[in-house]
Amino acid sequence: MPDCRLTHPVTDRKGTLLLAAGTRLSRQVMETVVSGQAAPVESCRLLDYRQVRSDLLGFFAASPYDLIFHEPHRRDDLLNIAGDVIMPEPVLESLYHFRELDFYTYRHTLLVFALSILIARELIDDRDALLQEVMAGPTHDIGKLSVPLEILTKETPLTRAEHAHLRHHALAGYVLLSYYFQDPGTFAAEVARDHHERKDGSGYPLGISIDNQMIDIIMVSDVYDALISPRPYRPVSYDNRTALEELTRQADAGIISETVARVLVALNRRSPPHFSQCVVSTERRGSPPSKNVYGVIETKE
């Protein structure tokens, strides 16, 4: 990976320090992080862990997911694929940490995972290849363990310093998943690090251009759910049409994948055409919610 330094410390859910602020993420440092895992940890199927399955099914009942998942065969196929995902228990414990302390992140993580499976099914024909891609599981935001809860749950726009700390979750996730999976090359760690990068190089933390279909899928799913879901700092979410229009705007600008955005638009149709036949309107009829602060940073420190 490109040379980079941590701007903030990386800690696990118990507050244990893994790497200090200022650490350069060299190959040697990452190998040291991995070797710090004392022994292999137990693993468990994601959907068998506590209330994950029932929570996920409950999330499907809310609009617009009730439309996206309204076809029983689509929901059953998704659960069948997700049911094969096995993860280290510390990762599952971290997921449940958010359920108890930051429910938005918990819900968001599971729904991005579910959306990414649906989209990947449309783009990847081979089941074994599909499973290999989605085995990253709902881990893209695990780095938020290293972000103070008062920032994650803040109800007003973030200051520049707080926003920088929040952005730190991408590199923190890379470190945490390398540690938990005992492999800095694991795809889950790569996804955590790169899901806020963009195809045109305008993202973070490294400002690199992304050319990886599965990261594209998680990238688009992440933006979509962030727009339509309740947030602590936003009294009203984007309506579904406006969110899809924002995605198509970003796709037209080369920021995110046009193909992935088209698949998501098709999945939002009640009788979805194949995404290649989906006509995406260029007309903009939606409008962001009142008091929208999407992408807004408080200038006063």
pLDDT digits (tens, 9 = 90+) for 149-178: 999 999 888 899 999 999 999 999 999 999
What CA–CA distance (Å, rounded) separates 293 from 21?
Answer: 29
Convert the pLDDT of each residue in 98-131 to its tens digit. 999 999 999 999 999 999 999 999 898 887 778 7
Of the candidates 247, 251, 174, 160, the one whose C-alpha atom is nearest the C-alpha of residue 205 is 174
What CA–CA distance (Å, rounded) separates 267 from 68?
Answer: 6
- Phi, psi at 176, each rounded to 5°: -60, -45
Residue 278 has pLDDT above 90, yes or no: no
Please give the CATH topology (third level) of the domain spanning 10-36+43-277.
Hypothetical protein af1432 (1.10.3210)
- In degrees, rounded to 5, the angle at the alpha carbon of residue 140 between the alpha carbons of residues 81 and 5 is 150
Mean pLDDT for the stretch of residues 177-181: 93
pLDDT band at 134 (very low <50, low <70, confident <90, very high): confident
Q: Are the C-beta atoms of residues 210 and 194 closer than 8 Å to each other? A: yes
Residue 297 has pLDDT above 80, yes or no: no
- In 3-state terms the chain splits into helix, strand, coil percentages (rounded to 5) of 50, 5, 40
- Phi, psi at 119, each rounded to 5°: -65, -45
Is 0.85 topped by the overall pTM? yes
What is the percentage of the chain residues whose pLDDT exceeds 90?
Answer: 63
What CA–CA distance (Å, rounded) separates 30 from 273?
Answer: 45
